[in-house]
Chains A and B, each alone.
Chain A
Amino acid sequence: MKFIRNFMDKIEPDKKDSPFLHTLWDGFDTFLYVPAHVTKSGTHIKDGMDLKRTMIHVVLAMQLAFIIGMYNIGHQHYFALGLFPDFFAGFWEKLLYGVLQYLPMLIVVHVVGLGIEFIFATKKGHAIEEGFLVSAFLIPLVMPPAIPLWIVALATAFSVVIAKEAFGGTGMNIFNVALIARVFVFFAFPAEISGDEIWVSPDYSWLHQGFSGIASLFGSNDFFSMNAAAVAVDGYTGATPLSLAAKGGWENVQAYTVSIADQTYQPYSVSNLLLGNVPGSVGEGSKIAIILGALFLAVTRIGSWRIMLSMVLGAAFMSIVLNIISVQYGAELTNPFISVPWYYQFLMGSVFFAMAFMATDPVTASGTSTGKWVYGFLIGVVGIIIRVLNPAYPEGWMLAILLLNVFAPLIDHVVLQQNIKRRLRRVKV
Chain B
Amino acid sequence: MSDLINIFVKAAFVENMVLIYFLGMCSYLAVSKTIKTAVGLGAAVIFVLAITAPVNWIIRETLLVEGALSWISPALADQSFEFLGLIIYIGVIAAMVQLVEMVIEKFSPALYMSLGIFLPLITVNCAILGGTLFMIAKEYSLAESTVFGIGSGFGFFLAIVALAAIREKIKYSAVPAPLRGLGMAFIITGLMGLAFMGLMGIKL
Q: Which residues of A contact B (CB under 8 A)?
A: 124, 162-163, 165-169, 172, 174-175, 180, 183, 187, 335, 382, 385-386, 389-393, 396, 398-400, 402-403, 405-407, 409-410, 412-413
Contact = CB atoms under 8 A, between A and B. Distances in A.
B201 A392 contact: yes
A389 B165 contact: no
Given A175-B195, A187-B197, A389 B166 contact: no
A410 B194 contact: no
A390 B198 contact: yes
A162 B202 CA distance: 28
A165 B174 CA distance: 9
Given A169-B174, A406-B195, A174 B200 contact: no
Contacts of B187: 162, 166
Given A166-B184, A168-B175, A172-B173, A385 B202 contact: yes
A399 B197 contact: yes
A165 B176 CA distance: 8
B interface secondary structure, majority: helix
B170 A167 contact: yes
A427 to B, nearest CB: 21
Contacts, number: 95
A403 B196 contact: yes
B77 interface: no
Contacts of B176: 165-166, 168
B170 A402 contact: no
The list of the 10 closest CB pairs from A to B, nearest first, reads A399-B198, A392-B201, A168-B174, A402-B195, A168-B173, A409-B165, A172-B173, A410-B165, A409-B169, A390-B202
Contact of B198 (A162, A386, A409): A386
Nearest to B196: A403
Contacts of A392: 200-201
A389 B202 contact: yes
A325 B176 CA distance: 50
Nearest to B184: A166
B198 A163 contact: no
A332 B169 CA distance: 46
Nearest to B176: A166
A406 B166 contact: yes
Contacts of A402: 191, 194-195, 198
A190 to B, nearest CB: 12
B68 interface: no
Nearest to B172: A172
Contacts of B58: none
Interface in B134-190: 161-162, 165-166, 168-170, 173-176, 179, 184, 187-188
Contacts of B184: 166-167
Contacts of A175: 191, 195
Contacts of B165: 407, 409-410, 412-413
Given A163-B191, A168-B176, A407-B162, 20 more contacts: A172-B173, A187-B197, A389-B202, A390-B198, A390-B201, A391-B201, A391-B203, A396-B198, A399-B195, A399-B199, A400-B198, A402-B195, A402-B198, A403-B195, A403-B199, A406-B196, A407-B165, A410-B35, A410-B162, A410-B165
Given A166-B179, A403-B196, A406-B195, A413 B35 contact: yes
12 contacts: A166-B179, A172-B173, A172-B174, A175-B191, A389-B203, A390-B203, A399-B195, A405-B195, A407-B165, A409-B162, A410-B35, A413-B168
Given A392-B201, A399-B198, A406 B192 contact: yes
B204 interface: yes
Contacts of A410: 35, 161-162, 165
A5 B176 CA distance: 35
